[in-house]
Amino acid sequence: MRKFAGYILSPIFYLLFGIIITVFHPIQWLCLKLGGYPAHKRCVDVLNMCLLATYYVLGNTITFINRQNLPVGRPILFVANHQSMYDIPPLIFFLRKHHGKFISKIELAKGIPSISFNLRHGGAANIDRKDPKQSIAEILKLANNMKTKNWSAFIFPEGTRAKTGIIKPFNVGGIATILKKVPEVLVVPVAINNSWQMVRYGFFPLNTFTRMSWDVLEPIEPRGRPAEDVVAEVEEKIRSRIGKLTIN
């Protein structure tokens, strides 16, 4: 029944999603040209709020839990498991006061209205996985902005989406670079649950009436600790939280 509903509701979802990213593309450009980073940042926040609204067209629900008293004047590295492309708008919108930037594939930085523009001009690190030198340079540039501007960053250390919700081993590389270059950074795990269900049938039809959640977990102070230990603790916290949600 849910899959059948997806055949009916998915075209409406994609139509609205497409209209939103198309309309916001020139608005982003104007905001950046006329108001610089602050205006562009506010525009991106509103864009992602609108994108979140499209999830409800499918009958899907979003629960974002953040009981942590996170500092605003300190760079934060948000480390999350990755289940679908729909993981991203809730992170941007609900954690917007932390000025989080994504470490993303360079392929996403072109061809997608609004989204590619933001990745190119909003401070993201757009890495080419086939070019380690370029990838390191992008992450170093982001790390420098984290230090000088108190920006935060989002990273999905699995490297690719877990299409069945089963968490893959976390990679240390990008996290280790940021921990080394931004020693004052705070590491915050985020457990994402059930967003993979939205695309369990692929891009069409999208799944419907899915309860998705984003849970900000207890921060980790990484200073003085090996990056491998920090990543292992993050992975354990996220796996533990996802396991409890699955049981419940």
Place 247 in a pLDDT band, splitting at 50, 70 and 90. very low
The fraction of the chain above a pLDDT of 70, given in percent, is 95
Q: Which of 41, 78, 92 is nearest to 175 (CA)?
A: 78
Q: Which residues pair with 188 in a beta bridge?
A: 78
H or E stretch at 155: strand 152-155
Would the pLDDT of 64 be above 60?
yes
**pLDDT tens column, 196-244:** 999 999 899 999 999 999 999 999 999 889 999 999 999 999 999 987 6
- CB-CB neighbours of 78 under 10 Å: 22
In this structure, what DSSP letter does residue 192 have? Answer: E
- Domain range 2-247, CATH class: alpha beta
| Residues 14-40, mean pLDDT to the nearest whole number | 96
pLDDT for position 161: 63
pLDDT for position 248: 40
- Asked if 46 and 96 touch (Cβ cutoff 8 Å), the reply is no
Would the pLDDT of 131 be above 90?
no
Q: Tell me the CA distances in angstroms from 88 to 36, 71, 170, one per residue in order.
A: 23, 21, 18
- CB-CB neighbours of 175 under 10 Å: 25
**pLDDT tens column, 91-116:** 999 999 999 999 888 898 898 999 99
Phi, psi of 225 (to 5 degrees): -110, 145
Mean pLDDT of the chain: 91
Q: Which of 188, 179, 190 is nearest to 223 (CA)?
A: 179
Place 246 in a pLDDT band, splitting at 50, 70 and 90. low
Burial label, 25 (beta-carbon count in 10 A; 0-12, 13-18, 19+): middle
Alpha-carbon Rg for the chain, nearest whole angstrom, is 18
Q: Which residue has the tokens 């089963």?
A: 166
Place 129 in a pLDDT band, splitting at 50, 70 and 90. confident
Tally of CA atoms within 13 A in the half-sphere of 182 that contains its CB: 28
**pLDDT tens column, 141-171:** 999 999 999 999 999 998 766 667 788 889 8
Q: Which of 103, 98, 97, 61 is nearest to 80 (CA)?
A: 103
CA distance linking residue 154 with residue 152, whole number of Å: 7
pLDDT for position 127: 86
CA distance linking residue 243 with residue 122, whole number of Å: 34
